[in-house]
Amino acid sequence: MAPNKNVTINDVAAAAGVSRATVSRALSGYGRIHEKTVLHVRSVAESIGYRPNSLAAAMRAGKTKTIGLVVISDFTNAFFDRATKAIIDQAKELGYRVLISHTDENIAEEKAAVETMLSNQVDGLILVPSGSTQHSHLTPKKLNNKPVVIIDRKLDTPRFTTITTGDREAAKEAVLHATENGHTNLGFLIAVPGIKGFKKKAPEIPITSVQERAEGFSDGVSESKPKPKSAIWIYCEDEEVAAGSAVEEMLDADTPPSIIFTSNNDMLLAVLKIAGNRGLAIGKDLSVISFDDSPWAAAMVPGITVIARPVEDLGHLAVTELIAAVEGKVRPKEIVLEAHLIRRGSVAKLRKAK
Partner DNA sequence: TTGAAAGCGCTAACAC
Partner DNA sequence: GTGTTAGCGCTTTCAA
Check if the beta carbon of residue 87 is closer than 8 Å to that of residue 126: yes
Enumerate residues 129-148 that contact a copy of itself by CB under 8 A.
Answer: 141-142, 144-145
- Residue from 21, 59, 202, 241 touching a copy of itself (CB under 8 A): that is 59
12: nearest Cα among 54, 42, 34, 55:
42
- Give alpha helix (H) positions in 62-195: 80-93, 107-119, 167-180
DSSP state of 138: G
Question: Contact with DNA (CB under 7 A): which of 1, 3, 4, 30?
Answer: 30
In angstroms, rounded to a whole number, what is the distance separating the alpha carbons of residues 159 and 325? 13
Q: How much of the chain is in helix, strand and coil states, percent to nearest 5?
A: 40, 20, 40
- For 59, residues 6+ apart whose C-beta sits below 8 A from its C-beta are none
Per CB under 8 A, the list member of 182, 302, 310, 332 interacting with a copy of itself is 302
46: burial class by Cβ within 10 Å (0-12, 13-18, 19+)?
exposed
Residue 43, exposed/middle/buried by CB under 10 A (0-12, 13-18, 19+)? exposed
225 binding DNA? (CB under 7 A): no
Please tell me the count of residues contacting a copy of itself according to CB under 8 A.
54
120 makes contact with DNA (CB under 7 A): no
Given a copy of itself, DNA, none, residue 24, with its beta carbon under 5 to 8 Å by kind, binds DNA
Nearest to 178 by CA among 318, 331, 286: 286
Instruction: Report the C-alpha gap between 144 and 16 in whole angstroms.
Output: 40
Q: Which among 1-9, 152-160, 218-226, 251-259 is the span making contact with DNA, rule CB under 7 A?
A: 1-9
End-to-end CA distance of the chain: 80
Whether the link from the prior residue into 310 is cis, omega within 30° of 0, is no
Rule CB under 8 A: choose which of 30, 225, 252, 301 binds a copy of itself.
301
Pick one of 22, 24, 84, 161: the residue that binds a copy of itself (CB under 8 A): 84
Minimum distance between the CB of residue 167 and a copy of itself, rounded to whole angstroms? Answer: 21
108 contacts 132 by C-beta, under 8 angstroms: no
Among residues 14, 42, 52, 280, the one that binds DNA under rule CB under 7 A: 52
* Nearer to DNA among residue 121 and residue 245 (C-beta): 121
> In whole angstroms, how close is the CB of 257 to DNA at the nearest point?
58
H or E segment and range at residue 221: helix 208-223
Helix (H, G, I), strand (E, B) or coil at 66: strand
Which residue in 179, 208, 263, 294 binds a copy of itself (CB under 8 A)?
294
Q: Choose the binding region for DNA from 30-38, 73-81, 152-160, 259-267 (rule: CB under 7 A).
A: 30-38
CB 171, min distance to a copy of itself, A: 22
Residues that bind DNA (CB under 7 A): 5-6, 8-10, 17-25, 27-28, 30-34, 36-37, 50, 52-53, 56-57, 59-62
Residues that bind a copy of itself (CB under 8 A): 2, 4, 6, 49, 51-56, 58-59, 64, 66, 74-76, 81-82, 84-85, 88, 92, 97-102, 115-116, 118-121, 141-142, 144-145, 266, 269-270, 272-273, 275-277, 294-296, 299-302
